[in-house]
């Protein structure tokens, strides 16, 4: 552990002389022995699959670029490679089959300090000569969604708005204010199920840049082989960021027999799904007066508020949409003031939703931000 954190030979040898550690040479021998054992396992199984992964468990993958731009004046090189991670999603603790792989074996020279090379079928990236530009996009089958399909989600959002309203209007301290934010409120409503740990393994890094058709196609092959080895019959699922996702989709359209949408599922990662959702909300709110409302309320300056429409900063944009809940509270206060000023009986007064629709017809800016709640 000390060697893994510091990589300092002098420190390890000093502790070895004090009887607190093994020697630095022995550390290198053990690490090389473990690496060689794993490489031999890769050669035997004809697939690069980490020993810790369990069999017969649903497995997904993530592919991303790894960039290192050294800032030190003495640095001479940078690194722009590709990383592939395997993630397993067990439904209960202990699900799957333990592959019972011994990492440190007796084969090979135990005194060796060098690690054997990885299999060539993993390290060699096959070149791609054909172009994937200007490919025809195949027709997709999608199911039409109606407004009623999201009624449960809409009701849950109004429950959060109502909770935020009660917390702000509470003067007695009886309302729990620990779950005021959007994330905390929804997290508190989830069932207290036992969380199962999802094993994750990072495959050996590639020196090739991720922003190439050849590397992305090879990554998809690596994932397909690993998933088939761990969970035979499962359709591989791979997540990418936006630029790599575009390459992966073009590969699917170019070679549908091997990488078609019925062969492998490619999708955004969680961060980029949220970014696209926030950008869609920004397109929806363009010209609605939402930005001007944030500026007039001194929540953000004009430039920052305008960047919320483009989701330039995910955390700030998410926070801005949560702050919009203040408009919901102000509308309720206006509705209560309206009810107090009316002489009609309470049963003749319009409901809050109907009143908002009436006010929206008279004053279009009154409904600013309300589409986000719906």
Render pLDDT for 244-284 as a digit per residue (tens, 0 to 9).
999 999 999 999 999 999 999 999 988 889 898 889 888 88
**Which residue would you say has higher pLDDT here, 240 or 107?**
240
What pLDDT shows up at residue 355?
83
pLDDT band at 371 (very low <50, low <70, confident <90, very high): low
**If DSSP codes are grouped into helix, strand and coil, which group holds residue 171?**
coil
On whether the pTM is more than 0.85, the answer is no
% of the chain at pLDDT higher than 90: 29
What pLDDT shows up at residue 55?
94
Q: Is pLDDT above 70 for 107? A: no
**Which residue would you say has higher pLDDT here, 46 or 80?**
46
What pLDDT shows up at residue 204?
95
201 DSSP β-pair partners: 86
**Mean pLDDT computed over 116-138:** 89
What pLDDT shows up at residue 226?
97
Residue 193 is classified by DSSP as P
**Mean pLDDT computed over 62-79:** 76
**What value does the mean pLDDT of the chain take?**
84
Phi, psi angles (nearest 5°) of residue 83: -120, 140
pLDDT band at 32 (very low <50, low <70, confident <90, very high): confident
Q: Is pLDDT above 80 for 368? A: no
What pLDDT shows up at residue 374?
52
What pLDDT shows up at residue 205?
94
**DSSP string for residues in 251-292:** HHHH-HHHH-TTT-EEEE-HHHHHHHHHHHHHHHHTTTTHHH
**Mean pLDDT computed over 134-154:** 76
What pLDDT shows up at residue 332?
83
**Which residue would you say has higher pLDDT here, 176 or 218?**
218
Q: Is pLDDT above 70 for 370? A: no
**Mean pLDDT computed over 186-212:** 87
- Buried (b) or exposed (e) across 223-256, using 16+ Cβ within 10 A? bbbbbebbbeeeebbbbbbeebbebbbbbbebbe
- Buried (b) or exposed (e) across 143-158, using 16+ Cβ within 10 A? eeeeeeeeeeeeeebe
Closest by Cα among 261, 277, 232, 259 to 96: 232
**DSSP string for residues in 14-51:** HHHHTTSS--HHHHHHHHHHHHHHHHHHHHHHTS---T
d(CA 209, CA 81): 5
**Mean pLDDT computed over 196-210:** 92
**Mean pLDDT computed over 60-88:** 83
**If DSSP codes are grouped into helix, strand and coil, which group holds residue 62?**
strand
Q: Is pLDDT above 60 for 72? A: no
């Amino acid at each position: 552990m000390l060697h893994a954190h510091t990589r300092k030979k002098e420190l390890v040898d000093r502790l070895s002389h004090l009887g607190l550690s093994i020697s630095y040479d022995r550390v290198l021998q053990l690490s090389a022995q473990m690496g060689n054992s794993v490489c031999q396992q890769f050669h035997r199984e004809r697939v690069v699959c980490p020993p810790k992964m369990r069999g017969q468990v649903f497995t997904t993958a993530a592919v991303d670029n790894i960039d290192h731009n050294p800032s030190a004046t003495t640095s001479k090189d940078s690194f722009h490679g590709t990383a592939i991670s395997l993630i397993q999603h067990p439904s209960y603790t202990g699900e799957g089959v333990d592959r019972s792989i011994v990492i440190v074996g007796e084969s090979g020279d135990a005194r060796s300090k060098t690690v054997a090379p990885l299999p060539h079928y993993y390290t060699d990236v096959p070149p791609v000569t054909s172009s994937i530009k200007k490919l025809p996009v195949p027709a997709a089958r999608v199911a039409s969604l109606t407004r009623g399909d999201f009624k449960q989600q809409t009701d849950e959002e109004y429950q959060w708005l109502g909770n935020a309203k009660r917390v702000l209007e509470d003067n007695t301290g009886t309302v729990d204010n620990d779950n005021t934010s959007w994330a905390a409120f929804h997290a508190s409503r989830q069932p207290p199920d036992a969380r199962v740990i999802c094993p994750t393994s990072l495959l050996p890094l590639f020196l090739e840049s991720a922003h190439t058709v050849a590397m992305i196609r090879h990554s998809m092959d690596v994932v397909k082989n690993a998933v088939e080895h761990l969970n035979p019959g499962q359709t591989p699922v791979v997540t990418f960021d936006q630029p790599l996702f575009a390459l992966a989709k073009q590969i699917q359209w170019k070679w549908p027999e091997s990488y078609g949408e019925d062969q492998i599922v490619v999708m955004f990662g969680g961060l980029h799904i949220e970014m696209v959702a926030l950008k869609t909300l920004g397109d929806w709110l363009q010209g609605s007066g939402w930005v001007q409302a944030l500026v007039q309320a001194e929540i953000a300056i004009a430039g920052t508020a305008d960047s919320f429409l483009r989701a330039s900063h995910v955390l700030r944009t998410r926070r801005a949409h949560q702050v919009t809940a203040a408009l919901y509270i102000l509308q309720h206060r206006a509705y209560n003031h309206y009810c107090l000023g009316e002489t009609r009986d309470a049963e003749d007064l319009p409901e809050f939703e109907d009143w908002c629709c009436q006010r929206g017809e008279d004053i279009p800016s009154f409904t600013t931000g309300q589409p986000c709640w719906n």
